[in-house]
Structure 1
Amino acid sequence: MSDFRCSFASVDDGEPIAGTAPSDPEVLLVESPGPWGRDAVADNRLPEVVRTHLAGLDLKVFLLRRYDGSAGPGTHVFHARATDEGYDVGAAVLDRPEDLLDLDLRTLPAYADPLWLVCTNGKRDRCCAELGRPIAGLLTQEWPDGTWETTHLGGHRFSGTLLALPSGLTLGRLDPSNVLAACEAVAQGEVPVEVTRGRAGRPGVEQARELHVLAGGDPRDELVAVPGPVRRQSCGDDKVKATTRYEVRTP
């Protein structure tokens, strides 16, 4: 097994994390205990009819499981739509996973409690499992109902990484020494800028602009996307890709 770790390489390169949060305006989160494959939505233990249904949806789907492997009763489902402030979240507990097929996502009761979605799919990238699972364990002790392991959030080179709902803040380069303080700040309505990748549901440049201003930058500054170094970005494959960074253009 290769010793390469994409998260270590990203730190060594000094790669900025600002503007790297998921930009999906709508996401569906479905409880699916047990192992996940590299393509988790297709390779899991949900009934085949449910897997087919999820694959055909025109929105981003993440799978969820508990850190300790427990499940139920029922199947937890969360639906989130991006707003100017973060996400509006609805939630339900289904009797059977098959009930997803007839579920009207627009009618789910509102859910306002914190959700901490920690990327841990080691079949997709080793860094997510190696760095994400200890983080999920710590958060489970503090927020047992709100903490879930989740499938690929994107940006595994920023592991440990998590998506916080309803704020939409996506945190990166987390470890057991900083994750509790970072999440407590988010729960209090603050933005821990040093470990924030951006507010999900927005384009990357808007994410970076918000963080620039929160860090004391001039709101009039323009941020533009520029190519970063071309290098391997994942432990999961040997593909070489270009990174993206955001530079400030002062007025």
Structure 2
Amino acid sequence: MLCSAAAADLPLPGTAAHVTGWLCIEQPGAWGRDVIGDQVLGPEITAELAARTSAAKVRPMLIRRPGRNEFTGTRTVLLASSRPQGSWCVRFEITDLRQLFDIDLHLVDGPAPDIGVRVDDPVVLVCAHGKRDQCCALFGRPIAAALAADYPDRVWEASHTGGHRFAPAVVLLPSGLTYGRVDVSAARALLEAADAGEVAMTGLRGRSCYPPISQLAEVAVREQIPATATELTAHPDPAPTHDPTLAGAAIVVHRDGRRWHVTARTIPAVPRQASCAAAPKPATYLEPAAIEQLPPGL
């Protein structure tokens, strides 16, 4: 059974990879299983890139244009910061991979740097990493091709984005909005919503800038009220919970001052494989336990 079929009953909210900084490097052709470990970019580049991205807490990604593309010698690079407020993405080109080391990756912790060209329209990463999991290639590549026909230069096939069991998996940059199980219609709708500053709810897994419980909390509040992409922020609730059935809690804040306290619990599920080539293992998912709007001033 494909891992995406085995996971079809698992809820999506709270499953996005927790990433706040992205370094996406164009690499046409085949990829290995691991972006860094398989040394697709060469051993010397790979070792240094692994150290730098780890130190800056930036996720390295390989990207390529949908369809068969030969390497021209020039690579597009995207550097993006996915923060609750003030997210950004810049785009530039390199002709030598060592040019990557001229960039201070810690820039993702601040405002948009004055390098390359500012990318104002949302960029789409569609996981198509077949060497990592066949579901990504099988389901992701048709989505990427369909979107690229309508939105040229904004859609990329991407290496592992996290959660191939939710394929087709899509990430929007710079917002970090992450989606799963989207078909072509849903993929077009989520991009149209992003262009309008809104958030499509179909297939929404969460925003990558948040840890899982905060992702879940924000999605849960969005399901109750209309809100634009930047009107809600989520923060882990630092107060300890004394209820052993709860996994934690988060506070969701609307720009107008409204606030919600969302508690979450972990639900066990029937064991199943997390990857097509893996053996079944215990599975869990998060669900809201309670969503409480807080009184003003508290």
Task: Check conservation: 2:217, 2:288, Cα contact below 8 A.
Answer: no
CA distance in 2 between partners of 1:86 and 1:212 (Å): 23
Look up the match of 2:76.
76
SS of 1:22's equivalent in the other structure is coil
SS in structure 2 at match of 1:98: helix
SS at match of 2:17: coil
The one-letter code sitting in structure 1 at the alignment partner of 2:150 is: E
Show the counterpart of 2:172: 164
Cα distance between partner residues in 2 of 1:28 and 1:43: 17
Q: Is the 8 A contact 2:121 2:195 kept in 1?
A: no
Deviations 1:201-230 (A, max 9, x none): 111111111111111179534221414313
Whether the 8 Å contact between 1:221 and 1:248 is mirrored in structure 2 is: no
Secondary structure of 1:207 counterpart: helix
Bigger mean CA offset, 126-135 vs 163-172: 163-172
| Residues 30 and 78 in structure 1, CA contact (< 8 A), matched pair in contact too | yes
Contact 1:115 1:164 in 2 (8 A): yes
Q: Sort the Cα spacing of 1:167 and 1:72 in 2 relative to 1 into closer, same or farther, 3 A.
A: farther
Unaligned residue ranges in structure 2 (runs of 5+): 108-112, 226-251, 253-258, 293-298
The residue matched to 1:242 in structure 2 has which SS? strand
SS in 1 for 2:77: strand
Residue 99 of structure 1 corresponds to 99
1:65 aligns with 2:64: yes
2:128 corresponds to which residue? Answer: 120
How far, CA to CA, are the matches of 2:121 and 2:37 in structure 1? 29
Inter-CA distance 44–210: structure 2 relative to 1 (3 Å threshold): same
Larger of the two Rg values belongs to structure: 2
Letter in 1 for 2:262: E
SS at 2:49 equivalent: helix
Report the CA distance between 1:112 and its aligned residue. 1.9
| Residue of structure 2 in register with 1:234 after alignment | 275
- Tell me whether 112-121 or 94-103 shows the greater mean CA deviation: 94-103
Matched, 1:188 2:228: no
Cα contact 2:122–2:191 (8 A) shared by 1: no
In 1: Cα distance, 2:14 partner to 2:126 partner:
18
Change (3 A) 1:177 1:82: closer
1:209 paired with 2:217, answer yes
The separation in 1 between residues aligned to 2:23 and 2:197, in whole angstroms, is 23
2, 6, 9: which is aligned to 1:9? 6
**Distance in 1 separating the partners of 2:132 and 2:33:** 5
TM-fit CA distance, 1:178: 2.6
| Preserved contact between residue 7 and residue 272 of structure 2 (Cα < 8 Å) | no
Counting matched residue pairs gives: 246
Secondary structure at 2:260 match in 1: coil
Deviations 1:4-52 (A, max 9, x none): 11111221xx211011111112221111111111113233542332222
Contact 1:205 1:225 in 2 (8 A): no
- Report the counterpart of residue 149 of structure 2 in structure 1: 141
Tell me which residue corresponds to 1:49: 44
Return 5+ residue gaps in structure 1 as ranges: none
Deviations 1:141-173 (A, max 9, x none): 111101111111111111101100122111111
Decide whether the 8 Å contact of 2:81 with 2:174 is kept in 1: no
Match of 1:35 in 2: 30
Deviation at 1:90, TM superposition (A): 2.3
Question: Greater shift after overlay, 72-81 or 215-224?
Answer: 215-224
Task: Determine whether 1:220 maps to 2:260.
Answer: yes
Contact residue 50 and residue 100 of structure 1 kept, 8 A: no
Deviation at 1:86, TM superposition (A): 6.8
